[in-house]
Structure 1
Amino acid sequence: MYNSSVHLPTIFQINENIISKISFFLQRNNFCFNNILVISGNTSSFKYAEIILGSLKAESYIIKKNDVTSVEDLKEYCLSKGIDLLIGVGGGSILDVVKRVSLLIEIDNLLVPTTISNDGLVSPISVIKDINGKTLSLPGRAPFGVVVDVEIIKNAPAKFLQAAAGDILSNISATNDWVLSAIKTGEQINDLAYMLSRSAAFALIHHESKDIRNRNFLKQVIYCQMNSGLAMALSGTSRPCSGSEHLISHAIDYHSLSEKTLHGYQVGSISIFCLYLQKKLDAKCLNYAHELNIPLAFHQLDNKILDQLLVIYETSFKMRPGRFTVLDSFKGISFVDLYNEFLFFLNRFRIYETNY
């Protein structure tokens, strides 16, 4: 599995107080753009967009939703104005719209995240809502530049940082599924993408501190999320970071069973269950989730989930048809019984009853 047209960031900056230096980073690398558009939301991200607008010549554009209408409106605006660089400032919703439009009109994008909650930043994937409000994973253009101001990320709500750290757990279950698929179906594995994904996960799991406000741990979370995105870009697929845990997560989202839960937090919790099914669940992963206050049993994410386990399981196979995971190994076996066995396992080691 090799992506011959992979786009990797040329500008890749992670440090404190660098948001005002984007013009310098562009000039240093001899990039020259004639019509730059800085895209943000209309709340906190706009405050940071103003800093960028004060440091380089560009126009401002505000989006409010990450839906197909916002994508179409931004696309038409860019075409009418002859925009040749998009600078996205904000959380994942804003940046996904930027990546999607960048691909549709074939121009570069540079991303400045104000939060880090999952591995989507440098991936060639855009999560966009359709006209019915359902989530779509669509192709996007990976950024040619990424500027992460750690001072901004550090001031983001704790739940986003917790989700970013939790999201990394899915790399382990996802790559396990990838290997399983290679054995069962002959699917190709991109070794470099595989190693990038797993090394990102284990770097965090073995980190001495799991304090999301700790500067070193936070920077490691950011680096690991970048590596996860690069793994997906290199392989041309989400496989390195998305397996059975994401299929279950998408099914939960499809049925609106945990609407207030951040994606990274959700897949981190589900990964514990999937690692159990893969017979790969160990103390390091359990302790990592526990220290981040991530539920070890994913039904604790929302009260509606436990009664809908069978529906979730059946729907998971419709989320990415053809993607083989450990879930395929349990077809014909009661999913509810499997989950109850998992809960028994957690109870046996007295690690289930925890207040989240």
Structure 2
Amino acid sequence: MPLLARTVLAPLAVEIRSDAIDHLPTLLRETNIAPTGRVAVVAGTGIGHDLVADLNLPQATTHVIEAGDLSHARDLARLLKTSDIDALVALGGGRVIDTAKYAATELGTPLVAVATSLAHDGIASPVASLRNENGVSTSYGVHTPLAIAVDLDRVLRAPAVQRFSGIGDVLTNLSAVADWQLSHRHTAERYDGLAAALAYSGAEAVLRHPKGIDDPDFLYTLASALVQGGLAMGMAGSSRPCSGGCHEIAHAIEHLYPGSGSHGQQGALGALYCTWIRDDRQLWDDLVVAYRRHGLPTTPTELGLTPDRLTKAIAYAPATRPGRYTILEHRDMDTHEIRHHLDGMIDELG
């Protein structure tokens, strides 16, 4: 009988530790990505100067860059086009890492992602979310980082809202996987059980963890789950393991009412609503407990929205991802039905 298997693209190393930045030279050497430390390091304008000052990489060139726009990523690729480097190191939060992922892909250069915040699962994903020339956030396919490090000391110093956002982003995986399974049953969409299990298990670990955002063990669990989500997307070849109706609602909120919370908070509220209309009462109860433990929104007012505005966003949500099948497309509700279920959820929350 033949032995069948598949090859999964994954980083050479994943390090989640309190001193990840200090340990970066060792990581580059032991993985043989850049044994002499001949790398370009990029960091954002916010705390970038402080970050690069802490590095012990005498052979590195450092660049403090504007980040978050497609134009920034292209500027970075042009800047480094003639550089003689073994790798590009992105040091900072999601905007810097996504900007560097795009530039590294354009250059065909290995990327090492060193995260100093835990706001979303882009740390390890093959996707860069960047604003295009019209100011619209757009997802671009990129190479997965060749190595990943998360500096938990820096994560603790980052604003707490970033950790809340990361928790919300992770917990949406539970709803997203349910949507993927639903689509597989009703539309015969390909379902990758291994990718789904990777995303789901990380989210479950965060859901069940009793500690909060300042606990080192919880932060390790959160960081691991965010990395798992990114790897699951790479394995699946799409965002399906981590993005369903929950993220459709998040994108709709951001489009219609920009500034209403972070993406992770928006997605968390979307996941709660999707779980409610899916009638998965056990998961819904578990999510409410976790949301209240971590201060995530359970009602539209906690996100700065009125019920009418959230109803409008939910009605608009399927238009944000044409062709994707989730519980929202499955139920195909009009605004009256959406509001009826939303009112029922709010009443249940007391």
TM-score > 0.5 by shorter chain: yes
**Aligned-partner residue type, residue 43 of structure 1:** G
SS for the counterpart of 1:20 is: coil
**Aligned-partner residue type, residue 241 of structure 2:** P
Give the C-alpha shift of residue 314 in structure 1: 4.4
**Aligned-partner residue type, residue 214 of structure 1:** D
- Given that 1:163 and 1:264 are in contact with CA atoms closer than 8 Å, whether structure 2 keeps it comes out as yes
Q: Could you say which residue in structure 2 is the equivalent of 1:343? A: 343
| Distance verdict in 2 for CA 1:119–1:298, change over 3 Å | farther
Q: Distance in 2 between matches of 1:205 and 1:323?
A: 26
**Aligned-partner residue type, residue 8 of structure 1:** A
Q: Distance in 2 between matches of 1:33 and 1:105?
A: 20
- Among 107, 110, 121, which residue is 1:108 paired with? 110
| Residues 315-346 of structure 1, C-alpha deviations (whole Å, 9 max, x = no match) | 32222211111111222x32343233333234
Give the C-alpha shift of residue 56 in structure 1: 4.1
Q: Distance in 1 between matches of 2:23 and 2:345?
A: 51
| Distance verdict in 2 for CA 1:33–1:311, change over 3 Å | farther
TM-score where L is the length of structure 2? 0.92
Among the aligned pairs, what percent are the same residue? 26
1:329 aligns with 2:330: yes
Q: Could you say which residue in structure 1 is the equivalent of 2:53? A: 50
Aligned length: 343
- Among 172, 176, 179, which residue is 1:177 paired with? 179
1:224 aligns with 2:200: no
Higher relative contact order (CA 8 A, sep 6+): 1
Q: Could you say which residue in structure 1 is the equivalent of 2:277? A: 277
Give the C-alpha shift of residue 309 in structure 1: 4.2
| Distance verdict in 2 for CA 1:194–1:28, change over 3 Å | same
- Does 5-14 or 110-119 show the bigger shift? 5-14
Give the C-alpha shift of residue 306 in structure 1: 3.4
Equivalent positions of 1:194-213 (< 5 A) are: 194-209=196-211, 211-213=212-214
- Among 272, 289, 292, which residue is 1:290 paired with? 292
Q: Distance in 1 between matches of 2:152 and 2:310?
A: 39
SS for the counterpart of 2:23 is: helix
- Given that 1:270 and 1:297 are in contact with CA atoms closer than 8 Å, whether structure 2 keeps it comes out as no
| Residues 222-276 of structure 1, C-alpha deviations (whole Å, 9 max, x = no match) | 1111111111111111100000010111111122x14152111221122100111
| Residues 121-174 of structure 1, C-alpha deviations (whole Å, 9 max, x = no match) | 100010000112111011122111111111111121111111111222210110
Equivalent positions of 1:150-161 (< 5 A) are: 150-161=152-163
Give the C-alpha shift of residue 33 in structure 1: 6.4
Q: Distance in 2 between matches of 1:298 and 1:89?
A: 34
- Given that 2:67 and 2:73 are in contact with CA atoms closer than 8 Å, whether structure 1 keeps it comes out as no
Q: Distance in 2 between matches of 1:28 and 1:132?
A: 42
- Among 67, 76, 96, which residue is 2:78 paired with? 76
Q: Distance in 1 between matches of 2:216 and 2:310?
A: 39
- Among 10, 15, 26, which residue is 1:13 paired with? 15
**Aligned-partner residue type, residue 299 of structure 2:** A
- Given that 2:311 and 2:339 are in contact with CA atoms closer than 8 Å, whether structure 1 keeps it comes out as no
Give the C-alpha shift of residue 100 in structure 1: 0.9
SS for the counterpart of 1:38 is: strand
- Given that 1:197 and 1:240 are in contact with CA atoms closer than 8 Å, whether structure 2 keeps it comes out as yes
- Among 120, 123, 132, which residue is 1:121 paired with? 123
Give the C-alpha shift of residue 201 in structure 1: 1.2
- Given that 1:204 and 1:221 are in contact with CA atoms closer than 8 Å, whether structure 2 keeps it comes out as yes
**Aligned-partner residue type, residue 45 of structure 2:** N
SS for the counterpart of 1:81 is: coil
Q: What is the Cα-based RMSD across aligned positions, in Å? A: 2.0
Q: Could you say which residue in structure 2 is the equivalent of 1:215? A: 216
**Aligned-partner residue type, residue 50 of structure 1:** A
- Does 83-92 or 116-125 show the bigger shift? 83-92
| Distance verdict in 2 for CA 1:6–1:299, change over 3 Å | farther
Structure 2 residue ranges without an equivalent (≥5): none
Give the C-alpha shift of residue 286 in structure 1: 1.2
Give the C-alpha shift of residue 198 in structure 1: 1.0
Q: Could you say which residue in structure 2 is the equivalent of 1:245? A: 246
Q: Could you say which residue in structure 2 is the equivalent of 1:88? A: 90
Equivalent positions of 1:184-199 (< 5 A) are: 184-199=186-201
Give the C-alpha shift of residue 72 in structure 1: 1.3
| Distance verdict in 2 for CA 1:56–1:238, change over 3 Å | farther
Q: Distance in 1 between matches of 2:49 and 2:113?
A: 14
Structure 1 residue ranges without an equivalent (≥5): none
- Given that 2:91 and 2:116 are in contact with CA atoms closer than 8 Å, whether structure 1 keeps it comes out as yes
| Distance verdict in 2 for CA 1:310–1:29, change over 3 Å | closer
Q: Could you say which residue in structure 2 is the equivalent of 1:320? A: 321
Q: Distance in 1 between matches of 2:171 and 2:131?
A: 25
**Aligned-partner residue type, residue 276 of structure 1:** W
| Distance verdict in 2 for CA 1:168–1:302, change over 3 Å | same
